[in-house]
Structure formats: structure tokens, C-alpha cells
Amino acid sequence: MRENFGTAGFCGIVELGKEHMRFNFQVQSVLHLLYPKRCPLCDRVVYTPFWSREYPICQACREQVEYVREPVCKICGKPLTDERGELCQDCARHPHAFLQGKALWVYRGLARESVYRLKYGNRREYGLAYAQELVRRYGDWIRRSRIEAVVPIPLHRKRRRQRGYNQAEIIAGEIGRLTGLPVYRQLLVRCIPTRPQKELNDRERKNNLKKAFKVAGNKVQLDHILLVDDIYTTGSTMDGAAEALRKAGVSHIYALSVTIGRGY
């Protein structure tokens, strides 16, 4: 009797599990219809299986957006027009606090509009799409660089409160999940409410970010860190963050961004 009861009980649990799975399947199907995934570049609906974790980018946009390709600056990763060149104008004039940087798209057209929607249109789901593309393209580079942790460029608490989130933190979180690397969201603090970089010239950008960052703690027990941000222009933001990390004892700092300007 006990054996029969045990078998019946087990079968009942299995049936309940199947019912639960069917219910979840139906719920996810409805949510997929109500809130379909949209291409992060053109913002049009892209139909994909709802169970897929892959965030789709439509083929038309892949062909239109400008991916960063060789030749690129050996330090910051900006695309160059001269195949014989090794450094962009910025890196040739000014040394950086980070060792090397990479980026996904040139900051223009579809890529520029996409990042704008992420930052100011609450399109947080774009973070997954960016991270998937970055890891697909630079996953091997991240492994070769022996990265121990991913660190997002922080927002000042006032700006974060106004926006409701930090776009760099969202992207960094997805990169960490995809690579299995820890994400240190609180390691860096933006202690000065700086002016938006887009409003400043090159010299003002560098002065604007002097002492803008600090490390939460006296010593960082890490030696290889990947800084993540949405936009790279002159490198002033990455430098400010990297300098703070260097003062805390980090010697190998790399930079990864979704978009980047041209190096000429």
C-alpha cells in the first residue's frame, strides 16, 4: 500500500509540475505578444521565440550600422582611416590611464539614436542586446586580458536619482552574466556632479573629470579590471575612473564601450 501511495504521490507531483510549466508557457506567450522584443537600433518589432534569451538585432540594421573595424587605434580602439596609422589623434597627444580600449559601433546614425533611447527613453532592455554583441565580438579579448571583474562607470547620485538607473551598470551587469565575471557596481563612486561631457570641448572635458571619481575603500584586491560605459569620445571619463583605480592599486585597466567616435 505504501509503495502504491508513494508512486501515486510522485505521479501527482509530476502532473502538477507539468501544469505549472504549461501555465508559465502560456503566460510567457501572452507577454511576448503584448511586449514583443524590438531591435535596439531601429526600435521595430522583431519576432523571435519568446523562450530565447537572445536579444535580436534586425538584419537591415546590422548592414546599416557602422561596426568598429580595423584599422583601429592600438590604445583606445577608435577606427582610423589610415591603414598605416597606429594611434588616433587623441592618443598620440595624451597618454591614458587605461591600457587598451575596445568599442562596438561608431557613434553616429542608428547607434547614436539607440544609445540616446537607452539613456533618456528608459529602454533598459537594450543593455542585453549591447552586451551580447560586445561579448560575441570581444569575448576572446576579455579572456586574454585576464579580466577579474567588470566595473561600470558610475553616475553621480543626483543624476542617477533623476534618471532612475545607470545605463553603464545595466550593460556591465549583462556582460558579467554572459561571461561569468563578477560585477562590482559599488567599487567606483562619482563624488562630484560634473557637467555633461557633450557640452564641453576637449580641455574642458579633462578638467571637468579631475578628481570626479573615487574608490569605495582604501585598497582594491584586484589587478585586472574592465571598465564599461555606453559612449567613448576623448577618453576623459575612462581616464578619470582609471586614475582612481590606479591610486587604489589596480595596475591593469581596460575599457569597453558600446559606441565610440572616429580617430581620423
pLDDT in tens, 39-57: 999 999 887 766 567 788 9
Highest mean pLDDT among 28-42, 198-212, 231-245: 231-245
Label residue 37 by pLDDT band (50, 70, 90).
Answer: confident
Q: Mark out the alpha helices in the chain (DSSP H runs).
A: 2-34, 59-64, 89-93, 109-120, 126-144, 157-163, 167-179, 202-208, 236-247
Label residue 184 by pLDDT band (50, 70, 90).
Answer: very high
Of 128, 123, 127, the closest CA to residue 53 belongs to 128
pTM exceeding 0.75: yes
Of 123, 77, 89, the closest CA to residue 259 belongs to 77
Q: Would you state the pLDDT for residue 83?
A: 85
Mean pLDDT across 113-135: 96
CA distance 158 to 83: 43
Q: How do the domains of the chain map onto residue ranges?
A: 59-260
pLDDT, averaged across the chain: 85
Least confident of 7-21, 53-67, 214-228: 7-21
- The fraction of the chain above a pLDDT of 70, given in percent, is 77
| Contact of 189 with 153, CB cutoff 8 Å | no
Q: Would you state the pLDDT for residue 76?
A: 97
Q: Sort residue 109 into left (φ over 0), alpha (ψ -120 to 50) or beta.
A: left
Residue 189 has pLDDT above 60, yes or no: yes
Residue 90 has pLDDT above 60, yes or no: yes
Q: Would you state the pLDDT for residue 191?
A: 85
- Radius of gyration over every alpha carbon of the chain, rounded to an integer in angstroms: 22
- Grid coordinates given for 103: 568599442
Q: Would you state the pLDDT for residue 25?
A: 46
Highest mean pLDDT among 11-20, 156-165, 188-197: 156-165
Residue 219 has pLDDT above 80, yes or no: no
Residue corresponding to grid cell 537600433: 41
Q: Which CATH class is domain 59-260?
A: alpha beta
Cβ burial 12-33 (10 Å sphere, 16+ → b, else e) = eeeeeeeeeeeeeeeeeeeebe
Q: Would you state the pLDDT for residue 255?
A: 98
Cβ burial 207-238 (10 Å sphere, 16+ → b, else e) = ebbeebbbbeeeebebebbbbbbbbbbbbbbb
Sheet holding 149-152, edge to edge: 100-106, 252-260, 224-232, 149-152
Q: What is the pLDDT of residues 147-173, one digit of tens each?
A: 999 999 999 989 889 999 999 999 999
